[in-house]
Amino acid sequence: MRLRCGAKIAHPRNPTGVTARTFAAASEPLKKSDFHYDLPVELIAQQPLPERSASRLLVVNAPEQSLADRVFGDLPELLRAGDLLVFNDTRVLPARLFGHKQSGGAVEVMLERITGAHTAVAMLGVSKKPHDGDLIELDDGTPVRVAEREGQFFQLRFEGTEPLEKLLLRIGHMPLPPYIQRPDDARDHERYQTVYAKNPGAVAAPTAGLHFDTPLLDRLRARGVDFGYVTLHVGAGTFQPVRAEKIEDHEMHREWLNVGAELVEKIHHTRAKGGRVIAVGTTVVRSLEAARGGGAQVQPFAGETDIFIFPGYTITSIDGLITNFHLPESTLIMLVSAFAGRAFVLSAYQHAVAARYRFYSYGDAMLVWPSVP
């Protein structure tokens, strides 16, 4: 059954008017369990490969309902002169900090986003959640005041004189995802970062971009593929599970993004010349769809969005998608399913499991061509 696209509803936490979500009008609402698949734990990549572009690449062709096993270094052969790759140039901050409460209990601080020179919103890993006004002391002695709680997140004020970004560069740890079961090390400071990272602000990497290295980018340019960039500062909320059984009841976290006029012009030029716009990662899709705001074309936009894309929503800003393999029942696999069809995407995941692909942030990738509307 094909889902119809329902009415666009602006979320009250999105004052810009950018569409927050599109609800699927179907006989029965989709459930998070509709996006489940079984994954052996040993397929979760714990380390990056020695070479970025040596990852495997599963080509998921929804119009032909076909799958092809390739390697990421084949990408220039799979694209055409005149295509446009759109990257997210956010730079990951070393956003994990450690300290203790006044009572002595250990605290892990995982920043969600920086809100000022000395303030941030964060998740706290602690045995007993602190109250407003409680003090946390970081390992270097910097005092941090808990200002207010916002659901699972806490507003924090760093009471030292050092600007927060400098503090993070001095004592922060790279914020590896929770499914990577090891401490971060020196290698992660380079490998959990894209080679084109530019604008600091993310606390999680746009992982589809981790597969690109400089030689591969040079080969793509030689092929005649053009590049463009958005900035979306990925927040720690990207790892938050969908708790509502009916997915339309899930509330997304907010993230800051910028889609500039230069990129918008490149997108329009590419489409006018018959080229394809290919997003490198789900963060790029969310950025471009937020910038489209329900209109026919992408427009320049800077601000926050909590856009939630799932089957029933029609993605029109891109013609192809490069993405990693995502967690079961996550908002990210829901977005990919909106692009290429839920049943076919899940069959691609089943193939990837059987073929022993590596999963998640340091894992392998897919090149997805979309379902025909």
- Would residue 87 count as lying in a domain? yes
Q: Which of 139, 173, 207 is the last residue of a domain?
A: 173
Residues, the chain: 373
- Would residue 153 count as lying in a domain? yes
Task: Indicate whether 212 and 283 sit together in one domain.
Answer: yes
Task: Indicate whether 198 and 329 sit together in one domain.
Answer: yes
Task: Indicate whether 17 and 137 sit together in one domain.
Answer: no
Task: Indicate whether 36 and 58 sit together in one domain.
Answer: yes
Task: Indicate whether 288 and 352 sit together in one domain.
Answer: yes
Residues 6+ apart with CB under 8 A from 316: 292, 296
Supply the CATH number for residue 275's domain: 3.40.1780.10
- Would residue 339 count as lying in a domain? yes
Task: Indicate whether 225 and 106 sit together in one domain.
Answer: no
Question: What pLDDT is attached to residue 5?
Answer: 31
Q: Which of 113, 148, 173 is the last residue of a domain?
A: 173
Q: Which of 173, 204, 219 is the last residue of a domain?
A: 173
Task: Indicate whether 219 and 328 sit together in one domain.
Answer: yes
- Would residue 117 count as lying in a domain? yes
Q: Which of 10, 1, 36, 26 is nearest to 308 (CA)?
A: 10
Task: Indicate whether 274 and 350 sit together in one domain.
Answer: yes
Q: Which of 85, 84, 90, 86 is nearest to 231 (CA)?
A: 90
Separation of alpha carbons 77 and 73, rounded Å? 9
CB 288 within 8 A of CB 266: no
Task: Indicate whether 136 and 80 sit together in one domain.
Answer: no
Question: What pLDDT is attached to residue 198?
Answer: 96
Supply the CATH number for residue 119's domain: 2.40.10.240
Considering its fold, how many domains does the chain have in total? 2
- Would residue 182 count as lying in a domain? no
Which residue type sits at 178?
P
Task: Indicate whether 123 and 229 sit together in one domain.
Answer: no
Question: What pLDDT is attached to residue 172?
Answer: 96
Helix, strand, coil shares, percent, the chain, to 5:
25, 30, 45
Question: What pLDDT is attached to residue 373?
Answer: 65
Tell me the whole-structure pTM to 2 decimals.
Answer: 0.90
Task: Indicate whether 225 and 337 sit together in one domain.
Answer: yes
- Would residue 180 count as lying in a domain? no
- Would residue 184 count as lying in a domain? no
Q: Could you state, in chain order, the average pLDDT of each consecutive group of 10 residues for the chain (373 residues)?
A: 28 35 54 96 97 98 97 98 98 96 92 92 90 94 93 92 94 94 94 97 95 98 98 84 89 92 98 98 97 92 95 96 97 97 98 98 98 74
Q: Three-state DSSP class for 278?
A: strand
Task: Indicate whether 162 and 63 sit together in one domain.
Answer: no
Q: Which of 312, 323, 313, 320 is nearest to 352 (CA)?
A: 323
- Would residue 284 count as lying in a domain? yes
Range of the domain at 135: 96-173
